[in-house]
Structure 1
Amino acid sequence: MRSDASEVYRRYLSAVMLHGHASARACELGATDLYALNILHLSGAMTPGELSARTGLTTGPTTRLVDRLEQAGYVRRAPSPDDRRKVIVEPVGRPADLDRVMAPARQRIGDILGGYSPDQLDVLFDYFARASRAYQEAAEELRTEAPDN
Structure 2
Amino acid sequence: MPNQKADPGPELEIVHLLRAVAVELGLHNARFANQNDMHPTDVRALIALMDAARAGTEMTTGRLGGALGLNSAGTTALVDRLERAGQVRRVRSEGDRRKVVVEVDQRAVALGQAFFGPLIESAVGLLQGYDERELAAIRGFLDGVREAAAEG
After TM superposition, is the score higher than 0.5?
yes
Residue 79 of structure 1 deviates from its aligned partner by 4.3
Query: Once the two structures are superposed, what CA deviation does each residue of 1:42-62 show, in whole Å capped at 9, x if it has no partner?
Result: 114322121111011222221
Residue 14 of structure 1 deviates from its aligned partner by 0.9
In structure 2, C-alpha distance between the alignment counterparts of 1:131 and 1:8, rounded to whole Å: 13
Judge conservation of contact 1:74–1:91 (CA < 8 Å) in 2.
yes
Judge conservation of contact 1:46–1:88 (CA < 8 Å) in 2.
yes
Residue 49 of structure 2: aligned partner:
40
Residue 118 of structure 1: aligned partner:
132
One-letter amino acid of the counterpart of residue 120, structure 1: E
Matches within 5 A, 1:91-102: 91-95=104-108, 96-102=110-116
1:75 correspondence with 2:84: no
Query: Relative to 1, partners in 2 of residues 1:78 and 1:107: Cα closer, same or farther, differing over 3 Å?
Result: closer
Residue 12 of structure 1: aligned partner:
21
Residue 124 of structure 1 deviates from its aligned partner by 0.9
Q: Percent identity?
A: 31
One-letter amino acid of the counterpart of residue 63, structure 2: E
Q: Root-mean-square deviation (CA), in Å?
A: 2.4
Residue 66 of structure 1 deviates from its aligned partner by 0.1
Q: How many residues align?
A: 137
Judge conservation of contact 1:26–1:101 (CA < 8 Å) in 2.
no
1:25 correspondence with 2:34: yes
Query: Relative to 1, partners in 2 of residues 1:48 and 1:113: Cα closer, same or farther, differing over 3 Å?
Result: same
Residue 132 of structure 1: aligned partner:
146
Matches within 5 A, 1:97-108: 97-108=111-122
Residue 61 of structure 1: aligned partner:
74
Between structure 1 and structure 2, the one with the greater Rg is 2
Q: Which has the higher contact order (CA 8 A, sep 6+)?
A: 1
Judge conservation of contact 1:78–1:90 (CA < 8 Å) in 2.
yes
Residue 89 of structure 1: aligned partner:
102
Q: Which runs of 4+ in 1 moved over 6 A?
A: none
Provide the secondary structure at the position in 2 that maps to 1:61. Answer: helix
Provide the secondary structure at the position in 1 that maps to 2:130. Answer: coil
In structure 2, C-alpha distance between the alignment counterparts of 1:102 and 1:91, rounded to whole Å: 16
Gap regions ≥5 residues in structure 1:
140-149
Please, what TM-score do these two structures have when normalized by structure 1? 0.74
Residue 146 of structure 1: aligned partner:
none
